[in-house]
A and B are shown apart, each in its own frame.
Chain A
Amino acid sequence: MEIIKPGINLDFVGKRNIAFSVSGVLILLSLAALAVFGPKYGIDFAGGSLIQVKFAKAVQISQIKDGLNSLSIENATVQSMGDAKDNEFLIRTDTTTVAAQQLAPQLKQTMEAATQAGVEIRRVETVGPQVGKDLREKALLAIFFSLIFIAIYISGRFEFKWIQSAVVAAGLGGAVYGLFVLGVSMPFIILAALAVTLVLFWLLGLKYALGAVVALIHDVTITVGIMCVLEKEFTVSVIAALLTIIGYSLNDTIIVYDRIRENLRKLVKTPLGTVINRSVNETLSRTILTAGTVFIVVAALLLLGGDIIHDFAFALLIGVVVGTYSSIYVASPIVLAWEERARKR
């Protein structure tokens, strides 16, 4: 059986300007979403408390809120979880430490009094503001470092420029650490570092690494943007999903790059654009299939895995789709764009 017929020849490279425009618009929209809506931090990053309660019989959210008010927890949000028949709710407050330490048993008592139903406290999470800040920084650093390591690997592996790319990475790593010690805010450091990385790759002619990193930034930005628009929560496990996307979306990119490299050796006289387009077409079947199998399992996780894993699976699902698109339409055309620009000079 074959989904993509062999010998298929779609003009991906010829449509790259359309693809670039689409991607550009999506990235701008994502950045706008990030600026306007902002990421909705889960308690891992924002600090606060989260309590998951299950009642023995049906209760109204207002009853729960009354109970919370009597504990003088005012700005709590109460949200129903899972099926209505589960009578399960998630309570969030930004209270931490002192109040929260006694919260669970008090809450149980108060809830039982307020709703006249048996209460089971199923989960309590409290994260202090300092821990939240630490985790935010760690998360950004993690994303940054995996991008950098991958970039080194790509440029080393595909262009045999291990030393150049290692120097770039070491410099960047040092600069990031230095700025961090100086107390510059982490998001700015990372943004600056990424911009510098791209410029350096461009100037040093590390075109494959450039394409890969652009594609990865593209994937992460758009995934984050969509999460912002849909008001999904950013938790530690969503960051794990983003990192997985970084690693995974590259699989497809590498498959195409490998084929480009192979074809470049075979078709010496053919123009690069043709080689790239041919390579993308030849690997199209694999790209679709590998993405498809991952898509299936992630979708299963999203639909059946339960609430705790929901945001993680959601981020992953978006990432798989966007990552597959970028492997076809972004990563390789960037290599071509660099070549054309370099030849003009």
Chain B
Amino acid sequence: MKRFSVRLVIVVAVIAAGALYCIPTFWPEIWPHKKINLGLDLQGGMHLVLAVDTAKAVESAVERSYQDLRELVRKNQIQGVSPERPSPGRILVRVQGRDNIDKFKGVLEKELRELKISTQTPDPDTYVATMELPGAEADQIRKLAVDQALETIRNRIDQFGVSEPDIRRQGDDRILIQLPGIQDTQRAKDLIGRTALLEFKLVDESRDANAALQGSVPAGSEVLYKIDEDPATQRTARTPFLIKKAALLTGASLTDARVQIDSQYGEPYVSIEFDKKGARTFERVTGENVGKRLAIVLDNKVYSAPTIQEKIAGGKARITGRFSMEEARDLAIVLRAGALPAPVMILEERTVGPSLGADSIRMGLISMLVGGSLVLLFMIFYYKLSGLLADFEVLLDLVLIGAGLAAFGGTLTLPGMAGMILTIGMAVDNNVLIYERIREELRLGKTPRGAVDAGFDRATTTIMDANLTTLISAVVLFQFGTGAVKGFAVTLSLGVIASMFTAIVVSRLVFDYILDTRKIQRLSI
């Protein structure tokens, strides 16, 4: 008995652990622990891959520097300076006159150190310089943009209320989002994809917006539209506004945004609250511009442009716009969570409805049942009692795969189920190798004991070699695969390992036990 006591302990321990880890999935009331996660393709849900448009983040950084530059030139009253933006990433400045050049250079040196001057003319009377953000700085902005986008999207989804979302960075500028069980996918996508850049800007009243559309738009202003949709006819009306480009205040200064109902019209609106600094700025800006119109711009769309009646203290404002309750709620969420530092694009979307997921599970189980039973019956038919042992081991393998998935937090996907089905077919292969070898040794005239020993010894290396190659493929697949396919790689690997263990260790234990305890003349094989 002693020779297999250690192995017995190991086998019993593995089986017990396997069974234990499967309990939470099937009987959570007994032991509420880690369950087997179902992939989105089985439980339904949405998988998104977003790309953060990091180039835009760099461009807006350049735009901010450009605005700062103009502001500084104005403040310091430097004459003869004409800044331009020939391309989104560059600023071109032309300065006339020596005094002006000296002043300008002084300001540049003191206030705008982040800009790199790439070309400049040596002419003492006219100074022409091209400026851009240095590479390291731009890289930093790109990286920050992705980090910040990730954080913002995580906040939004948390507030939207999805159970167990998975949001992570993928590669340099991509974000992977998995939202299990989500029903209203369109709303979720709108919520995630919205930049939600809230800006307060003055309306440029130097000329009419329609006139500006015809002729030239004054420097420092742009035409933005207010879009109204008639809920009954779904017709949209676009009203142009001439808006000054400089933002007086942005959504970054918000501390809160919540949905309220207008007591007069019963329409929902979003009330926003600024932080201390924002509140002061708002008070100053409204005080300085009484009688002018202040536009509330969200993602370059004008929501409203009321005339400032008086200085507004207290740091509160409201965004109105014929919202439905849902729209107002989502707007409040995105404003609370903050703006995305750059626009995002959906590169990949996979949505599976819950009913399709359930169908997939059902069909997966049916094929497992049918294919599995055929194989199990064949084994009994072909190898008799030894076949029965192999069958028992296959079932044990499935339990171990389930336990492995639960214990390591793996995800069971539809291809993963296919991997389990395949495991049934491949697991018995190991038994076949051993049994064929034992039969061969028996034919050579060996005793059952001798044949079993030789069979296991010789077949073990072959099994190791053969399974290792499958394992290599599975690991490569895991490395290169995406979502659902990774699930296949995982179940296949677990299956290979489990079946090696059961075929080599468990079978040997059972054979040894029977041969040692009974006088066996003929093996049932």
Interface residues in chain A, defined as those with a beta carbon under 8 Å from any beta carbon in chain B: 1, 3, 6, 52, 54, 97, 100-102, 104-105, 120-128, 130-131, 135, 138-139, 141-142, 145-146, 149-150, 153-154, 157, 236-237, 239-240, 243-244, 246-248, 250-252, 254-255, 258, 262, 282, 285-286, 289-290, 292-301, 303-306, 308-309, 312-313, 316
Contacts and interface: CB of A to CB of B under 8 A. Distances in A.
A125 B347 CA distance: 11
Contact of A300 (B193, B374, B473): B374
Interface string B179-196: 000000110010001000
Contacts of B379: 293
B348 A126 contact: yes
B349 to A, nearest CB: 4
Chain B interface residue number, banded: 35 or more
B348 A142 contact: no
A165 B466 CA distance: 19
B421 A301 contact: yes
Contact of B185 (A104, A127, A298, A313): A104
B189 to A, nearest CB: 6
Given A298-B425, A304-B367, A135 B482 contact: yes
Given A6-B440, A296-B378, A123 B351 contact: yes
Contact of B462 (A97, A248, A255, A305): A255
Interface in B350-397: 350-353, 355-356, 359-360, 363-364, 366-368, 370-372, 374-375, 378-379, 381-382
A297 B371 contact: yes
B473 A293 contact: no
Given A124-B185, A309-B360, 15 more contacts: A120-B353, A122-B352, A128-B345, A142-B481, A150-B469, A254-B462, A290-B429, A293-B425, A297-B367, A297-B374, A297-B421, A298-B421, A300-B367, A301-B418, A306-B360
A260 B443 CA distance: 20
B247 interface: no
A279 to B, nearest CB: 12
Most buried by B among A154, A258, A296, A299: A296
B351 A125 contact: yes
A241 B433 CA distance: 24
B367 A301 contact: yes
B472 A247 contact: yes
A312 B472 contact: no
Contact of B436 (A104, A135, A254, A286): A286
B346 interface: yes
Contacts of A246: 469, 473
Contact of A297 (B350, B372, B473): B372
B371 A251 contact: no
14 contacts: A6-B440, A124-B350, A142-B477, A149-B472, A150-B472, A150-B473, A239-B485, A246-B469, A255-B466, A297-B421, A300-B421, A305-B367, A305-B421, A316-B422
B485 A308 contact: no
Contacts of A282: 440
Contacts of A138: 480
A250 to B, nearest CB: 4
Contacts of A262: 458
Contacts of B141: none
A1 B381 contact: yes
B426 A294 contact: yes
A100 to B, nearest CB: 7
Mostly, the A contact residues are helix
Contacts of B353: 120-123
A204 to B, nearest CB: 20
B428 interface: yes
Interface of B: 41, 49, 51, 185-186, 189, 193, 345-353, 355-356, 359-360, 363-364, 366-368, 370-372, 374-375, 378-379, 381-382, 414-415, 418, 421-422, 424-426, 428-429, 432-433, 436, 439-440, 443, 458, 461-462, 465-474, 476-477, 479-482, 484-485, 488-489, 492
A191 B360 CA distance: 37
A254 B366 CA distance: 32
A139 B474 CA distance: 13
A258 B465 contact: yes
The 5 closest A-B pairs by CB, nearest first: A300-B371, A247-B473, A297-B425, A142-B480, A247-B470
Most buried by B among A153, A258, A262, A299: A258
A292 B425 CA distance: 8
B465 A254 contact: yes
B476 A296 contact: no
Contact of A250 (B347, B433, B466): B466
Contacts of A316: 422
B436 A247 contact: no
Contacts of B414: 308-309
A122 B428 CA distance: 37
A142 B481 CA distance: 8
B375 A157 contact: no
Given A102-B186, A236-B482, A293-B432, A313 B469 contact: no
A101 B188 CA distance: 11
A153 B484 CA distance: 28
